[in-house]
Amino acid sequence: MASFSFLNPGFLWALPLAAIPILIHLLSKRRLPEIRFPTVMFLRALEPREIRRLRLRELLLLLLRTLAMLLFVCAFARPSVEPKGATVRAAVAVAVILDDSESMGALDEQARPRIEGARERGLLIVDAARAGDEIAITTTTGPDAPLSNRSGDRVRLERTVRQVDVTWFPGRMDLALERARRFLGRSGLRSREVYIVGDFQASNFTREARENVAMISRSGARVLLLPIVSSRLPNHAIEDLDPELRPGPQGKGLEMRARLVNHADAPSERLAVRARRGDALIGGGDISLRADESRWASLPIDWRAGAATGMTAAASTGMTGAEPRAPVVVESDVDALAGDDRRYAVLGAPRRLRVLRIVESRAGAPASRFTALALDPMQDGSGGYAIETGTPASLLGLGRGRADVVLLEDIASLSGDAEARLRAFLREGGGLVIGLGPHADPDYYGRRLFPGVIDLALEGMERAAEGQAFEMRARAPAHPILEGLSLTVGSPLTQSRIAALARGRVTSGRAEAVVATTGGLPVVVAGPQVVVFLGSLSDDWGDLPYSGAFVPLVRGLVDFAARAPSQEARDRLLVGRPPAAHLDAAPAGAVVVRGPESYRSQATVVSEGSGFRAVADAPAPAPGFYVFEAGAREAATVAVNPDPIESDLRPVSVDSLRSGLADPPRTLLTAASLRTHLRDTRQGRELWLLFLTGAAIFLAAELVLGSARIAAP
DSSP 366-405: PPP-HHHHHH-TTSSSTTSEEEEEE-GGGGGG--TTT-SE
Closest CA to 330 of 319, 317, 341: 341
Tell me which residue of 706, 659, 626 sits closest to 217, measured CA to CA: 659
77 and 54, same structural domain?
Answer: yes
Is position 649 within any domain? no
Q: How high is the mean pLDDT of the chain? A: 84
Average pLDDT over residues 169-186: 92
The CATH number of residue 496's host domain is 3.40.50.880
393 and 461 housed in the same domain = yes
Sign of the C-alpha dihedral computed for residues 150, 156, 160 and 161 taken in this order: positive
Same domain, 370 and 261: no
What is the per-residue pLDDT for 315? 36
- Closest Cα to residue 137, out of 171, 169, 163, 170? 163
pLDDT tens-digit map of 563-620: 755 444 445 789 989 999 988 888 888 999 999 999 999 999 998 766 889 999 999 9
Structural domain of 587: 572-640
Lowest-confidence pick of 56-60, 155-159, 422-426, 592-596: 56-60
Secondary structure (DSSP) of 74-111: HHHT-EEEE-TT--SSS-EEEEEEE--SGGGGSB-TTS
Indicate whether 361 and 425 sit together in one domain.
Answer: yes
Statement to judge: residues 413 and 546 lie in one domain? yes
- Could you tell me which residues come within 8 angstroms of residue 71 by beta carbon, excluding any fewer than 6 positions away? 691, 692, 694, 695, 698
Residue 647 lies in a domain: no
Segment (H or E) for 207: helix 207-218
Across 123-218, the runs of DSSP E, i.e. the strands, are 134-139, 191-198
Give a yes or no: residue 211 inside a domain: yes
The residue among 413, 690, 400, 706 whose CA lies nearest residue 562 is 400
Is residue 407 located within the same domain as residue 512?
yes
CA triple 49-55-57, angle to 5 deg: 105
| Same domain, yes or no: 191 and 335 | no
Q: What is the domain-level CATH number for residue 583?
A: 2.60.40
> Which residues are CB-neighbours of 551 under 8 A, at least 6 positions away?
374, 484
User: What does DSSP say about strands 325-332 and 268-277: parallel, antiparallel, or unpaired?
Assistant: antiparallel
Residues 636-674 have pLDDT tens digits of: 999 999 999 999 999 999 888 888 888 889 999 999 999
Residue 179 sits in a domain whose CATH number is 3.40.50.410
β-pair type (294-301, 353-358): unpaired
116 and 186 share one domain: yes
Q: What span, in angstroms and rounded, lies between the C-alpha atoms of 392 and 422? A: 10
CATH number, domain containing residue 306: 2.60.40.10
**What average pLDDT does range 46-61 have in this prediction?**
73
395 and 272 co-located in one domain = no
Total-model pTM: 0.70
CA-closest candidate to residue 669, choices 218, 224, 60 = 224
Residue 705 pLDDT more than 90? no
Give the total number of structural domains in the chain. 5
What is the distance between the alpha carbons of residues 398 and 352, in angstroms, rounded to a whole number?
Answer: 18
Helices vs. strands in the chain: H and E counts, helices first: 14, 32
Single residue among 296, 321, 350 that ends a domain in this structure? 350
